[in-house]
Amino acid sequence: MKLSKLLTSKQLSPIPSSSSQSLTTLFKTGFNPTHKDYTNFLLHLLKSQKFRFITHFISQLTSNQIEQHHIFNSIFTKSLLNHQIHEKALTFINTHMEKTPIVVQNRILDALIQAVCINEQDPERGLSILQHFLKKDGIFPSSFTFCTLIRAFCLKGEMDRAMEVVGMMSDEKFKYPFDSFVISCVVSGFLSIWKNELALGFYENVVSSGGVKMNVVAYTCVLSAYCRLKRFEKVCDLGCEIEKGGLAFDVVFYGCLVHEYFKAGMVVSALEKHREMVERKIEPDTVSYTILVDGFSKEGLVEKGVGFLHKMRKEGVEPNLITYTSIMLGFCKKGKLEEALNVFKIVEDLGMKADEFVYATLIDGFCRILDFDNVFRLLDEMNEKGVHPSVVTYNTIINGLCKSGRTTEACEISKNVDGDVITYSTLLHGYIKEKDSTGLLMTKKRLEEAGIQMDVIMCNMLIKALFMVGSFEDVYVIYKGMPEMGLVPNHVTYCTLIDGYCKFGRIEDALEIFDEFRMTSTDSVACYNCIIDGLCKRNMIDIAVQVFLELNERGMPLDLGICRILLKSISRTMGPDGILDFVLKIEKLDREVFHIICNDTLCFLCDEGFFESPSDLYTFMRKNGFVLTVKSYNSLLEMLFKDRKTCLAKICLSDFVKEIGFFEPRVSKIILDHLCMKDVRLAIKYLESKMAKTQKLVFPVSVLEKLIKNGRACDAFKLLMGSKERLPFMDVVDYTIVVDGLCKGGNIGKALEVCTLAKNYGITLNIITYNSIINGLCHQGCFVEAFRLFDSLENINVIPSEITYSILIDSLSKEGYLLDAKNIFERMVSKNLKPNIRVYNSLINGYSKIGSLSEVLKIVDDLDETGVKPDEFTVSVVINSFCKSGNMEGALEYYFDSKTNGFSPDLLGYFYLIRGLCSKGRMEESRSILRDTLQNGKVVDMLKKVDTGEETESVDRFLDSLCDRGNIREAVMILDEVVRMFFPVGKTVDETEVRAVGSEPLILDREGDVVSDDFDAYYGLLASLCSKGELKKANKVAKLLTGFDGG
């Protein structure tokens, strides 16, 4: 390097012809500059920022053995640092700075450490340099150096090292006070690693030491800590403290506050703080508006966010790309992709260049609605516009495919990407969801080949996947290898391991993991619940109880779900007495917890139908001063009234009234419920009381259904009609239940009154209600009224259903009105309604009763044509038809054809066939059918139910013995008795009378025209009354028909 190219200062200008001479040559010519000359020249170079020239000049001075002044060293060091040659600067300091004044050394050290922290972002190296030089006497770094180190460590999240520097800064040697910068850095650092408690702890310790003056920036950081810990009451105190200190709020402070309120889900509070900022004359900027837009969008209120977007543009505040992206995110979350694309178009029209996050947001939106065509279109568009998708975008696509059950496609996409831990975790989760063992093993292999550094979440996912494929050894290896990877198992890890081992029956391994979990400082109710559940499934109740007690001893919250599992296991293995023993074992628990468990146990015992144990537990609780909850009283009273323990029920009810109060609505409802089930007259009287009217008390609708189920339809009617001035909310289903119950009990008139009541309350009855009425009318023999109602349905826009037609066809067939039944059947088919096998069976049975085999066979042929499969009843009735006509060959042929097609008769069908063959003297064939009968599982089950009076002998075995001996007639006699037992003979109709009735239709062919009220029309009603022995009613009907009133 030529000196002439460097010497440009005025102090060296007199040197002649030096343009082409080196420093050595100049010295030889007799030129002898002083230290002052050198210093001025170096300072000039430093001021001109010609750092490279300085290093070369110092190198020439060193090579020419010119004694260097300490200022030279200082300037040289600064030059090296500006060139970011930090290691060389450190070496130079160590070798050349001994003679440099200590003040200069401190400045150089400060510059070096700050350069390492800021330029190299290596605070660890900076701290080691500081610790090295502090060993020398007189070294005293500036507070800014400590601040630089603290900030660098905080930015990296290495808070242990940051606090170490904080300790050095405040020790006896330096005693630097903490300023706002340090507080801001440390609090922000703790917040960045989610150690919110430590952030506040540091702040509170600093404030308690006194003498700290904070600025708004520091207060803003502290504000975030309070918000994240949900200590919003402290936010107001902080605001007062800021005002007290004479500090002015700024837009950043309010922006941070609004952001934290949104994160906590407090939308209204966030909006109020924004308004407060505006009232304080603080003008919102782009960032503060973007925080609002983003907050509303994430809360599902994107329309509100759009409103603020328009407002900011109206006020002259220009939205940025992040603002528009937040709006797109909001629309995507709500599935409004068209609106999101419109916003995207606005971004393009404004000349903004969409970045990867914009595209990733839209891609995620399309993934949510499973529109993968648009997903891949956007991916292609990204590549065309030079926006290179990173692993983040691909992870979004992979996640969408996995959630939609297309994990294999997601795996293929991942092969073209340098996946990260999220990529493989997502794939594993997808394969776990699809239970694809092959995919899990393939992903595990790829993960190992990629050498991805796993995190705890990844390990947990892999453990769950390995459990699925049964690779228990690999599970153990991963778990034990976590510390080597620098990972600490969390509660999810332990829970996954315990649950996995329990599900595969490896309870010993689960207990080993649980013991290791107990040695950690982690608290997890889920882990305790998993092991208790596993122990209960293996009936290891004693250990499960011990674990349950430990769960409560450690002060963790009670989980009633796991308590119920424990109660069910104890009940299954030891019965109700075991449950009472369990209650005694846990008696020493915290009183409040024990009280909750006792109430839950009482409800459980009542729900399980135990009668003695709930009473004992109730007595125990009362004796020990425990108060029953309303739910417990409800369950106990319901059980006691069901078991008819009226004495104890009255005591319990009395206690309930004493504790809760007679005028408490809940008590009144329970009393009313009890009265409804006991005596509806008392219930109605209670409803008419002044107190009930004051409380606007109504009976529970569920009582009506209970009464109906207990065969008390008339009581349900009385309660309904007696309370019609103040009914509970009832829909058409509730009214239909009452109508159906009354109709089945033969109370048609009352059922119609209920229908009238429903209509008065504006309830539109449906076809199910009318089906119940039609069925009731038919069962009472009131066919004319039934058909009048049936014909009127279409006039009130109610379409008859398959069940409507089925009821009519069945009723007509049973009464012998087969022509009418057939007409209704044809009418049903013409309405495009498909008759089921029960409808066909009604017709087949009707024709079988009058011995019309030809009609029976026609209907059987229709079955084959329509594709309706016969059932056991069909086969049995057809066989009986053949037998009644004496056509045993036809009966046998039909039986074997049905058997070949997989259809067998029931016990009655077998009996008809065996009896028919036996009456014809065809004993061997009858014997063969009897053997088939005894091989039919359903028939044998019925025969086993017959009480023979002998414990060792059953009917099926006896019949089998008779069959072996060939005593078929005796077998027929026994079968006849069994058939009479299972199918008791009801009303019988003379065949000639049935034929006479069946020959004339009840309904005329003309649409909507019904015959007059003649005797034939009322024959069904008269026959029904006579068969029931109600002769007086039948006589009254006959008199009305003839016009004779009895005079």
Say which DSSP state 232 is in.
T
Calpha distance 1040→1044 (Å, rounded): 6
DSSP secondary structure letters along 84-128: T-HHHHHHHHHHH-TTS-HHHHHHHHHHHHHHHHHTS--HHHHHH
Number of Cβ within 10 Å of residue 357's Cβ equals 16
Chain centroid offset of residue 707 CA: 36
pLDDT-based confidence at 103, cuts 50/70/90?
low
Q: Helix crossing, 35-47 with 51-63: angle to 10°?
A: 160
What confidence tens digit (pLDDT) does each residue in 9-61 have?
333 334 333 333 444 455 555 556 555 555 555 555 555 555 455 555 556 55
Beta-carbon neighbour count of residue 238 at 10 Å? 16
Estimate to the nearest angstrom the gap between the alpha carbon of 666 and the chain centroid.
Answer: 31
Question: Other C-beta atoms within 10 Å of 458: how many?
Answer: 21
Instruction: Report the candidate in 80, 792, 444, 276 with the shortest Cα–Cα distance to residue 268.
Output: 276
User: What are the phi and psi torsion angles at 98 (to 5°)?
Assistant: -60, -40
Residue owning tokens 């936010």 = 235
Lowest mean per-residue pLDDT among 17-21, 264-268, 786-790, 800-804: 17-21
Average pLDDT of the segment spanning 143-164:
83
Question: How far apart, in whole angstroms, are the C-alpha atoms of residue 240 and residue 376?
Answer: 54
Plot region of 175 (φ>0 → left; ψ -120 to 50 → alpha; else → beta): left
Q: What is the pLDDT of residues 318-333, one digit of tens each?
A: 999 999 999 999 999 9
Nearest Cα to Cα of residue 872 among 950, 936, 945, 814: 936
Say if residue 506's pLDDT is above 60. yes
Question: How many Cα atoms sit within 13 Å of 20 on the Cβ side?
Answer: 0
Q: What is the mean pLDDT of residues 666-675?
A: 66
pLDDT number for residue 235: 76
For residue 34, what pLDDT is reported?
Answer: 55
So what's the pLDDT on residue 669?
66
Cβ proximity of 394 and 383 under 8 Å: no
Across the range 938-960, mean pLDDT stands at 75
pLDDT of residue 325: 92
pLDDT tier at 659, thresholds 50, 70, 90:
low
Whether 402 contacts 394, CB under 8 Å: no
What mean pLDDT is reported for the chain?
A: 78
pLDDT of residue 396: 92
The residues with which 1010 forms a beta bridge, in sequence order, are 1003
- Encode pLDDT of 610-622 as tens digits: 878 888 888 888 8
pLDDT per residue as tens digits for the range 470-495: 888 888 888 888 888 888 888 899 99
344 contacts 358 by C-beta, under 8 angstroms: yes
Query: DSSP secondary-structure letter at 1003?
Result: B
Residue 746 near residue 779, CB atoms below 8 Å: yes
Residue 849 has pLDDT above 80, yes or no: yes
Confidence of residue 656 (pLDDT cuts 50, 70, 90): low
* 209-232: average pLDDT: 78
The confidence band for 342, taking pLDDT boundaries of 50, 70 and 90, is very high
Instruction: Pick 413 or 243 by higher pLDDT.
Output: 413
**What is the distance between the alpha carbons of residues 294 and 324, in angstroms, rounded to a whole number?**
9
DSSP 550-584: HHHHTTPPP-HHHHHHHHHHHHHHHHHHHHHHHHH
- Which of left, alpha, beta for 381 (phi over 0: left; psi -120 to 50: alpha)? alpha
- Per the CB < 8 A criterion, the answer to whether 914 and 944 are in contact is no
DSSP 729: P
Q: With beta carbons less than 8 A apart as the criterion, state whether 149 and 184 touch.
A: no
Q: How far apart, in whole angstroms, are the C-alpha atoms of residue 273 and residue 295?
A: 13
| Residue 930 confidence (pLDDT) | 86
In whole angstroms, give the CA distance from residue 423 to residue 26.
68
Amino acid (one-letter) located at 248:
A
Cβ contacts of 22-28, under 8 Å, gap ≥ 24: 23/60, 23/61, 23/64, 24/64, 27/64
3-state secondary structure of 696: coil
Q: Determine the pLDDT at residue 641.
A: 59
Kindly state the average pLDDT of the residues 217-246: 78
Residue 1045's pLDDT band (cuts 50, 70, 90): very low
Q: How many other C-beta atoms lie within 10 A of the C-beta of residue 1022?
A: 17
Predicted confidence at residue 159, as pLDDT, reads 85
Residue 163 clears pLDDT 70, i.e. is over it? yes
Per-residue pLDDT for 117 more than 80?
A: no
**E strands of 680-726, at which residues?**
none
The angle, 0 to 180 degrees and rounded to 10, between the axes of the packed helices 630-642 and 591-607 is: 30
Res. 642 pLDDT band, cuts 50 70 90: low
3-state helix, strand, coil in the chain (%, to 5): 70, 0, 30
What does the pLDDT read at residue 10? 37
Confidence (pLDDT) at 692: 64
How far apart (Å, rounded) are the C-alpha atoms in residues 547 and 550?
5
pLDDT at 362: 92
- pLDDT at residue 93 above 60? no
Question: What is the arithmetic mean of pLDDT over 551-565?
Answer: 82
Does residue 961 contact residue 945 with C-beta atoms inside 8 Å?
no
Q: Which residues pair with 1003 in a beta bridge?
A: 1010
By CB atoms closer than 10 A (0-12, 13-18, 19+), residue 684 is middle
Give the residue, 126 or 1000, on which the prediction is more confident.
126
Which residues, at least 6 apart from 899, have a Cβ–Cβ distance to it below 8 Å? 932
Q: Which residues contact 665 (CB under 8 A, 6 or more apart)?
A: 695, 697
Q: What is the rounded CA–CA span in Å between residue 1008 and residue 733?
A: 30
* Residue that the structure tokens 């070949």 belong to: 900
Eight-class DSSP state of 664: S
**How confident is the model over 713-747, as pLDDT tens digits?**
888 888 888 877 777 788 888 889 988 988 888 88
